[in-house]
Amino acid sequence: MTVKYTREHEWIRIEGDTATVGITFYAQEQLGDVVFVELPEADTSADQGAEVAVVESVKAASDIYAPVTGTIVESNSELSDRPELVNEDPENDGWFFKMNLSDTSELEDLLDEADYQTFIQEEL
């Protein structure tokens, strides 16, 4: 199991050819209280960088991008009734969707945890 990060503040946990995607602790902190999450349907295919979900906080709506190319296999239906899970447990129970990866080489461009920590320090 590997965890990678994007510059759009998403985490991606890879287990075999399946990836679970969510937003980072830092991202939820910046968003503030999450009040609504719009999730993709299962079986939709998405290119890397495509807008696939939306997270809305009390402040604004933000797009969630597919971190890699693949097919959405499942969305976290729990979030539709409990969007606050994104704040409470962003990197576990607050996951957004799972995808089947088409091209594992895309993972090489993503950040590892240390790189991501450096990246957010620079953004602050």
Partner 1 sequence: MTNLHALVLESFHAERGAKFGPFAGYRMPVQYSLGVKGEHIHTRNAVGLFDVSHMGQLLIEGTGATNALEQLVPAALQEMIPGQIRYSQLTLNNGGILDDLMLTRWDEESWGLVVNGACKHGDIDHLKTYLPADVTMRYFDNHSLIAVQGPKARRILSELIPEAEQLTFMRSTQTSWNGHDIILSCCGYTGEDGYEISIAKQFVRELAEELTQLRETTWVGLGARNSLRLETGLCLYGHDLTTDTTPIEADLSWSIQKRRRTDGGFLGAEIILKQMTDGSPRKRVGIKPEDGKTPLRDHTILKNVAGSVVGEITSGGFGPTLQGPVAMGYVSQNLCELGTELVAEVRGKDLRCAVCDPIFVKQRYVRNLSH
Q: Which residues bind partner 1 (CB under 8 A)?
A: 32-33, 35-36, 38, 54, 56, 58-61, 80
Of 37 and 101, CB closest to partner 1: 37
Dist. CA 7–CA 79, nearest whole Å: 23
Of 88 and 112, CB closest to partner 1: 88
Place of tokens 């075999």: 16
Helix (H) or strand (E) holding 34: strand 34-38
Give the shortest CB-107-to-partner 1 separation in angstroms. 28
| DSSP state at residue 83 | T
Of 63 and 115, CB closest to partner 1: 63
Give the shortest CB-33-to-partner 1 separation in angstroms. 4
Tokens of 93: 């129970």
Give the shortest CB-124-to-partner 1 separation in angstroms. 13
Compute CA 12 distance to the chain's CA centroid, rounded to the nearest angstrom. Answer: 6
